[in-house]
Every structure is written in structure tokens, then in C-alpha cells.
Amino acid sequence: MTTEAAETLRGEGPFIVGAHERPDGDSVGSMLALVRWLRERGRKADAVVPGGVPDPYAALPGAGDVLDFYPEDLSDTTLILVDTPSPDRVAGLENGHERAASVVVIDHHPDNQGYGDINLIDTGASSAALLLYETLTEAGDGLDAETATLLYTGVLTDTGGFRFGNTDERTLRAAAALVGCGARPAEVATLVYGSQPIGSLRLLGLVLSTVETALDGRLAFLTLTDEMRRRAGATGEEIEGLAAYGRGIQGVEVSVLLREEDGRVRLSMRSRGRVDVNALARRLGGGGHRAASGALVEGTIADARGRVIEALGGLLD
């Protein structure tokens, strides 16, 4: 399937590249890298991120050029969706995948059902950026330093800085190859992990003060309210990594960040590796990966806590 995807990328286009709502480093890096690669080959290509690229990824090359909305007419367009398990997860698309001339899906989520005309889905890949690196390498002509840096950003962030259990030989070989193409590891690490606004640090302090454990210390909860965000002066764009802090507590197997969002609660779940939090998220109407998943549930934070504890039953055995 990699060959089929590579052949499509060598086509005439035009191309529109999108990803899931609230795009992370893997989504953003992959989108921007693919658009840059296509444009360098004379193709008309644009990335779409409704609301713009969130921080800290707004500083990446090409982030300022993204479109804010999907074109109404996609009848002659090849639509490429990266890191997106379902078209329902794409903000602003509104069934646009059904209007496009063709749809290419490049993804590594285990719950992707293959909704594209061409589906490059590899659940064993640590990131969509890794799959895209392999696809672009097969398509030929090499990668320039900026494209390599964007792909490296995706690989780095979806492995948690090469700390997560999905960091394997395949991933590290790809990362080394991207550095060989000109990717700048120190620059990317500083951008992603070392350039946080002061509001993010204040928010981190507030969130860490809420930590609680349950189920004999194997489950950790962190709480983030709208009031905490206002007190810290944080936008909320940079908080996805907060869920991982609970996982660092001795004895904790699963960490869950409970975040107020428009009258509901968003759950960001992280596992040390033994527990499949994708299975947990699916019980709550969400999904993701074995070690990192999420869901959006109705009710209060207290309600969400109870639902998580109930849904986790059996998964910790």
C-alpha cells in the first residue's frame, strides 16, 4: 500500500492535506511536510487547519500558510488525511471526503477502518510522520532539511521525546535518517519542550496540585478547570502533555487528565504500557492508541471520574 500512496503523491493534484481536530505535533508536522514536498515538485497543495496551527507548532516552517477552511468544491482534488482515524474527527470538513476526487488516508491509529480510496494504515508505526517519511522516500527525489525537520517533529512528539513504548528500531532509524537529511533535533526539542509560555508553567503547577490516586494507587487523576486556565493565563492549546505527569507516580499504571470543555469533560489518558488505554477510551466513546487515548464525556468532573473508574474495571487485572 505504500507504493500505491507514493504513486498518488506523484500525481498532478491539486492536493488538500488535513488532519484531526486539535492537531498535535505528529499531525502538524506531517501536514506541513507533505505540503512542502508537493509544492517543491510543482504541485498545487495546501494544508487546512481551522483556527490555525496551535502553539508551539505555529513556529514550524510553513505553519503561517495553512488555510483556515476546506474549499467547497473538492471535485478535482486529492484529499489527503493524515493521523486521522475517522473523517468525523476532521473539524470543518463536513463530509468533504465524500466530495473529493479521491481520498488518501495515512494513519497509525488502531481503530481506523480504512475510509479512504487509498489507505496506508500501519498500527505498528509509532507515528504518521514515520509512515509519511517512508512513503516520501519511496516516492523519490529525497527530502530537504525543512521537510526532514517537520517529519522529525512528528516522530519526536508522538514518541514523547523517544520515551514511550512505541520507540522502536524502525523509529530510531527513521529519526537518524531524517537528521542525515538536515533535520535539527536540538532546535525541534527546544521548540516543543523548551519554549513554553509562562502561563503553561503556572497551569502545570495548578494541575499538579490536584493529583489524586484511586484503585490502590494504580490510577492517577489530574484535573483542569476553566477557572484554573483563567488564573494561569493559558490558552489551553499546550496542555495535552499534562496527562503524562500522573504516569510518573510510583505504582501508577494509568493517568487521566480531566479537563472541562464546553460543559463536558475531555479525558486524556496515558498508560505506562501494560494497560491498553485505547480499550478504556473506546468504552467511553473515544479512542486512540494503546498508551495514549482520549474521550469526551457528558457530565461533571466528578461524573467523569466515576465513569473512568467503572470503565477501567478488568483492564488493570
Q: Which of 32, 46, 146 is nearest to 83 (CA)?
A: 32
Reduced 3-state DSSP string for 72-94: CCCCCCEEEEECCCCHHHCCCCC
Q: Rounded CA gap, 175 and 240, in Å?
A: 23
> Is there a cis peptide before residue 56, judged by omega within 30 degrees of 0?
yes
Q: What is the pLDDT of residue 34?
A: 97
Instruction: Give the helix/strand (H/E) hosting 104.
Output: strand 102-107
The residue count for the chain: 317
pLDDT of residue 273: 82
pLDDT digits (tens, 9 = 90+) for 117-151: 999 999 999 999 999 999 999 887 789 999 999 99
Q: Residue 53 forms beta bridges with which residues?
A: none
Nearest of 251, 256, 250 to residue 220 by alpha carbon: 256
pLDDT for 317 equals 74
Burial of 21 (0-12, 13-18, 19+ CB in 10 A): middle
Radius of gyration of the chain (CA): 19
The grid coordinates listed for 122 are 500501519
Beta bridge partners of 36: none
Torsion (CA) 61, 65, 70, 75 in degrees, nearest 10:
-90
Q: Match 487523576 to its residue by C-alpha cell.
A: 221
CA distance 61 to 65: 9
Predicted TM-score of the model (pTM):
0.87
Q: Are 203 and 228 in contact (CB under 8 A)?
A: yes
Q: What local confidence, expressed as pLDDT, does residue 55 receive? A: 85
- With a cut of 70, list the residues of the chain below it in pLDDT: 1, 235-240
Largest CA distance in the chain: 59
Of 117, 114, 105, 138, the C-alpha closest to 20 is 105
